Amino acid sequence: MLLFKLAFRNVIGAGLRTWLNVIVLSLSFVTIIAMQGLYKGMQYQAEDAMMQVEYAGGQYWHPAYDPYDPFTLEDSHQPVSGAAQRAVAAGDAIPILFTQATIYPQGRVSSALLKGIPPEQEIMEFPSEQLLQSDHALPAIVGTRMAKSNRLAVGDYLTVRWRDANGTFDAQDVQIVHVFSTIVSSVDAGQIWVPLERLQSMLKMPNEATLLTLRQGLTDPPVLPGWDYKGLDILMADLREMVTSKQVGGSIMYLLLLFLALLAIFDTQVLSIWRRKKEMGTLMAMGLTRRQLIGLFTIEGGMYGVLAALLGALYGTPLIVWFATHGWEMPEMVDDFGFAIASKLVPSYSFFLVLGSTLLVLATVTIVSYLPTRRIAKLEPTDALRGKLT
């Protein structure tokens, strides 16, 4: 306890030098916590949106299906039968059918992905019920990105051409009955959604599907022969890798700030040891051991971290609370990133995130404070009293 009292007195007595170090180190505290919370919030928002709108509880893919290779769509379909049919009938899964198509909006030509989904499905939070609006024309819904890029609006007609299971080309006019908005671009950009049964009939693929989407909450996914199961860890791997790469890139900034603060503390310790040689000799002559003297200077350095944490909490807590409440408005161009990034990022701060970041900085500060004190291990009291330090 005596060492802590003496270390606190020495740190406070250093005056301006102490507070400059504490301010810079507190900025590192706040920056690290704020940035980590931002990345966590971005990941949670994106994962939640993708689960609600697209992946639900996971998916079963046709073995030949590759979402990054449109040429696999021609063979990526098979009948929904057996265990798969029972899962659909029980409401545990919904079939979705994909095919490559060409659209002709307003005299122009463009490629698109034609997707069939059961209008009455309730597994995904997707406005598929809008596909029940039209009894005559083929109803279709598109996302805001698709509508913007092709200048489509509710009530518009456009011609869609496709090739059926026999390789025969056919075409039909579809009517846009709804335009939905979502941050998940993978169900929006370049895609047109139509009723599943109508698409199966158009493609001459009765009761066939490209993939099955499972209901959320299934603890034990059923075994479906002939289908490849893709859990959420696989489906969201790209998103998590993207967030990890952003964290690595963002960490460079606050690591530089932390390095500057640690360098200042290291220099302060070296200067303090050099200027306080006679004080160290006096303390050793009064019975303080070398180990205790090293501990004294190490505690002094560690107190910079404690004061920085308190100062950071004083002005950082209101900032982080405001940040977590109001979020960070993102520019419109994030829609083109290909990932589910919301227009407003809301950071997520947990107790363990704050505690882990604080302990990491405190441990780093303590280690940096200890390094210069190693010179005290060979210090003789008589040499210190004469002002000699080797």
Q: What is the pLDDT of residues 322-346, one digit of tens each?
A: 887 877 766 555 555 555 555 667 7
Residue 175 φ then ψ, to 5°? -115, 130
Residues sharing a CB contact under 8 Å with residue 247, sequence separation 6 or more, in sequence order: 36, 39
Report the amino acid identity of residue 140: A
Chain centroid offset of residue 388 CA:
55
Ordered DSSP codes for 99-123: EEEEEEGGG--EEEEEEEE-TT--S
Q: What mean pLDDT do residues 146-170 have? A: 90
> Does residue 282 belong to any structural domain of this protein?
yes
Q: Structural domain tally of the chain?
A: 2
The pLDDT assigned to 26 comes to 86
User: How many Å apart are CA 284 and CA 186, to the nearest integer?
Assistant: 70
How does the average pLDDT of the chain come out, rounded? 82
Domain match, 98 and 149 both: yes
Domain match, 89 and 220 both: yes
The pLDDT assigned to 382 comes to 58
The pLDDT assigned to 212 comes to 94
Domain match, 358 and 377 both: yes
Q: What mean pLDDT do residues 140-165 have? A: 90
> 66 pLDDT exceeds 60?
yes
Domain match, 207 and 160 both: yes
- H or E element: which one contains 329? strand 328-329
The pLDDT assigned to 291 comes to 79
> Does residue 390 belong to any structural domain of this protein?
no
Residue 115 pairs in a beta bridge with 98, 193
The pLDDT assigned to 334 comes to 53
> 387 pLDDT exceeds 60?
no
Residues sharing a CB contact under 8 Å with residue 216, sequence separation 6 or more, in sequence order: 51, 56, 57, 123
Report the amino acid identity of residue 359: L
The pLDDT assigned to 299 comes to 83
Report the amino acid identity of residue 316: G
> 390 pLDDT exceeds 70?
no
The pLDDT assigned to 162 comes to 92
For residue range 276-305, list pLDDT tens digits in order. 666 776 777 777 777 777 787 788 878 888
CB–CB of 387/278 below 8 Å? yes
The percent of residues above 90 in pLDDT, for the chain, comes to 24
Domain match, 122 and 45 both: no
Domain match, 26 and 137 both: no
The pLDDT assigned to 211 comes to 93
For residue range 252-285, list pLDDT tens digits in order. 777 777 787 777 777 777 777 777 666 776 777 7
Q: What mean pLDDT do residues 308-321 have? A: 88
Q: How confident is the model at residue 208 (pLDDT cuts 50, 70, 90)?
A: very high
Residues in the chain: 390
Domain match, 188 and 131 both: yes
The b/e string for 235-274 (b: 16+ C-beta within 10 A; e otherwise) is bbeebeebbeeebeebeeebeebbeebbebbbebbeebbe
Q: What mean pLDDT do residues 127-151 have? A: 86
Q: What mean pLDDT do residues 124-133 have? A: 88
Which of 230, 250, 279 is the endpoint of a domain? 230
Nearest to 64 by CA among 270, 223, 281, 210: 210
Domain match, 171 and 268 both: no
Least reliable range by pLDDT among 93-102, 135-144, 145-154, 264-273: 264-273
The pLDDT assigned to 339 comes to 54
> 224 pLDDT exceeds 80?
yes
CB-based burial of residue 294 (10 Å sphere; 0-12 exposed, 13-18 middle, 19+ buried)?
middle
Residue 176 pairs in a beta bridge with 140
Domain match, 305 and 368 both: yes
The token duo for 290 is 């070398």
Q: Could you tell me the residue range of the domain that residue 133 belongs to? A: 58-230
User: How many Å apart are CA 354 and CA 320, to the nearest integer?
Assistant: 11
The pLDDT assigned to 385 comes to 54
The pLDDT assigned to 389 comes to 52
For residue range 88-115, list pLDDT tens digits in order. 998 899 999 999 999 998 778 889 999 9
Q: What mean pLDDT do residues 344-370 have? A: 81
Q: What mean pLDDT do residues 139-164 have? A: 90
DSSP three-state, residue 288? coil
> Does residue 78 belong to any structural domain of this protein?
yes
The pLDDT assigned to 149 comes to 87
The pLDDT assigned to 62 comes to 93
Q: What mean pLDDT do residues 352-360 have? A: 82
Domain match, 265 and 294 both: yes
Domain match, 102 and 217 both: yes
Domain match, 38 and 105 both: no
Nearest to 245 by CA among 181, 337, 168, 179: 337
Which of 210, 230, 250 is the endpoint of a domain? 230
User: How many Å apart are CA 116 and CA 204, to the nearest integer?
Assistant: 13
CB–CB of 306/362 below 8 Å? yes
The pLDDT assigned to 370 comes to 80
The pLDDT assigned to 335 comes to 54
Which of 214, 230, 246 is the endpoint of a domain? 230
Q: What mean pLDDT do residues 237-244 have? A: 82
The pLDDT assigned to 13 comes to 74
